[in-house]
């Protein structure tokens, strides 16, 4: 019930004041003072098991993270994190009650060859979630990126391409029927405002990130994708998902208009999701709550699906206390927006430890974007989330 999360906002200045000793200690502590990695990880797991984010969250809000694997991890100097890092998995299970495959359900991973599916990694995530009382967000079905060459370079007719997409959606969604709570059905289908021509569906072959399905089959394929997913699992909630839509802006308004059109056509669209990959060099998205509310007013659920907060690191590579404080404030602000909207029922951070964050691989010079350091020591951002969740659910004071 909504009353379980009647939101009394934590004053950010108070949170910052409470975190000041931690900030100073984090900035001042010499590297030699750190405990051995194994001891640090064990302590982190113990803390999560006893008092993790999932233990203090309101009953009607799931707290999630990405399960690290695939993508940039494949070329990193470590084995697959979710599969082989038991300590990582233990903390993930203790802290979170929702999990999103980071790459393991994307096309190139789960459908690498025509007619060939590889479900092993995704199956492991879903099975682990069931064993640990977690829900799963499926990610993603219709996207322009991480498509295998057999799709983008294949000699398929339009009819064959549509049949390929339908088979993919219904095979993948159908396999996990009843075991996945939400699906990102259509992901990043609009071009960005900084692309030539402004916001539009990714249907321009001159765009580096054009969507072959929309380009070849037209924008009506979006509604078909939702209908096919709904046929495969009528209980799953189906979402549009994108980045750079946190503020009320041209791109988010394009999605707002699209959502109205899809709903008017009877398309089984259930929610709109804000990725929220944020960067401290840009202002906080001040209209986030109002933006979420207008989708809520359409009768859609909303979700924060990929939150991380990056910044440019000092030459030392060590974040300053000021950077950590601003990062904490940003994480808290996004959570407060979600808590303030009736049907924002899912809040996911895109990884919880810098050990496996995607940010340094894609944005050299930036990093420290998650709520824990590489050794699982918690940052001020973690404690800001924890305190805000606890107060929202009445667990404090």
What is the set of domains in the chain, with CATH numbers? Answer: 16-26+36-392 (3.20.20.80)
Whether the Cβ atoms of residue 353 and residue 334 lie closer than 8 Å to each other? no
For residues 120-133, give the mean pLDDT.
Answer: 98
Q: Please report the sign of the dihedral spanned by the C-alpha atoms of residue 312, residue 317, residue 320, residue 325.
A: positive
> What pLDDT sits at residue 111?
98
Establish whether 188 is a catalytic residue.
yes
For residues 373-377, give the mean pLDDT.
Answer: 97
For residues 107-125, give the mean pLDDT.
Answer: 98
> What pLDDT sits at residue 1?
31
> What pLDDT sits at residue 204?
73
- Give the rounded percent of residues in the chain with a pLDDT score beyond 70: 88
Give the pLDDT band of residue 223 (cuts 50, 70, 90): very high
Give the pLDDT band of residue 203 (cuts 50, 70, 90): confident
Return the number of other C-beta atoms located less than 10 Å from residue 321's C-beta. 17
> What pLDDT sits at residue 6?
42
User: With 80 as the cut, is the pLDDT of residue 289 above it?
Assistant: yes
What's the mean per-residue pLDDT of the chain? 90
Query: 41, 95, 102, 306: which is the annotated catalytic residue?
Result: 306
Backbone angles phi, psi at 316, to 5 degrees: -70, -20
For residues 155-175, give the mean pLDDT.
Answer: 98
Give the Cα separation of 122 and 136 in Å (integer): 10
Whether the Cβ atoms of residue 141 and residue 169 lie closer than 8 Å to each other? yes
User: With 70 as the cut, is the pLDDT of residue 16 above it?
Assistant: no
> What pLDDT sits at residue 49?
72
Give the Cα separation of 234 and 229 in Å (integer): 8
Give the pLDDT band of residue 35 (cuts 50, 70, 90): low
Query: 95, 102, 188, 336: which is the annotated catalytic residue?
Result: 188
Give the Cα separation of 109 and 341 in Å (integer): 35
> What pLDDT sits at residue 8?
39
Better-scored residue on pLDDT, 77 or 14 = 77
């Amino acid at each position: 019930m909504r009353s379980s999360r009647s939101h009394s906002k934590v004053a950010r200045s108070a949170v910052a004041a409470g975190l000041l000793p931690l900030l100073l200690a984090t900035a001042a502590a010499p590297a030699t003072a750190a405990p051995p990695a194994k001891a640090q990880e064990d302590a982190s797991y113990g803390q999560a098991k006893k008092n993790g984010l999932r233990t203090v969250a309101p009953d009607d809000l799931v707290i999630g993270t990405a399960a690290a694997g695939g993508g940039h991890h494949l070329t990193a100097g470590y084995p697959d994190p979710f599969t082989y890092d038991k300590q990582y998995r233990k903390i993930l299970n203790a802290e979170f009650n929702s999990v999103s495959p980071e790459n393991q359900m994307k096309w190139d991973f789960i459908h690498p060859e025509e007619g060939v599916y590889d479900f092993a990694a995704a199956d492991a995530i879903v099975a682990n979630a069931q064993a640990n009382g977690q829900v799963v967000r499926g990610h993603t079905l219709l996207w322009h990126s991480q498509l295998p060459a057999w799709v983008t370079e294949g000699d398929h007719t339009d009819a064959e391409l549509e049949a390929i997409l339908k088979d993919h959606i219904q095979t993948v969604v159908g396999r996990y029927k009843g075991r996945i709570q939400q699906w990102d059905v259509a992901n990043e289908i609009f071009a960005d405002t900084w692309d030539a021509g402004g916001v539009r569906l990714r249907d321009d072959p001159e765009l580096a990130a054009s969507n072959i399905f929309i380009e070849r089959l037209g924008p009506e394929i979006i509604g078909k994708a939702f209908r096919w997913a709904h046929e495969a699992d009528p209980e799953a909630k189906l979402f549009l998902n994108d980045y750079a839509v946190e503020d009320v802006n041209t791109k988010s308004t394009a999605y707002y208009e699209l959502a109205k059109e899809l709903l008017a056509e009877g398309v089984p669209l259930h929610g709109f999701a804000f990725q929220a990959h944020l960067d401290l060099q840009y202002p906080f998205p001040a209209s986030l709550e109002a933006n979420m509310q207008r989708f809520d007013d359409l009768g859609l659920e909303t979700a924060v699906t990929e939150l991380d907060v990056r910044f440019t690191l000092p030459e030392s590579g060590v974040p300053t206390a000021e950077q950590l404080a601003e990062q904490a404030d940003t994480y808290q602000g996004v959570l407060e927006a979600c808590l303030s909207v009736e049907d924002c029922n899912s809040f996911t951070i895109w990884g919880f430890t810098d050990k496996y964050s995607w940010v340094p691989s894609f944005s050299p010079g930036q990093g420290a974007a998650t709520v824990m350091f590489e050794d699982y020591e918690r940052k001020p951002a973690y404690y800001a989330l924890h305190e805000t969740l606890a107060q929202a659910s009445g667990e404090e004071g």
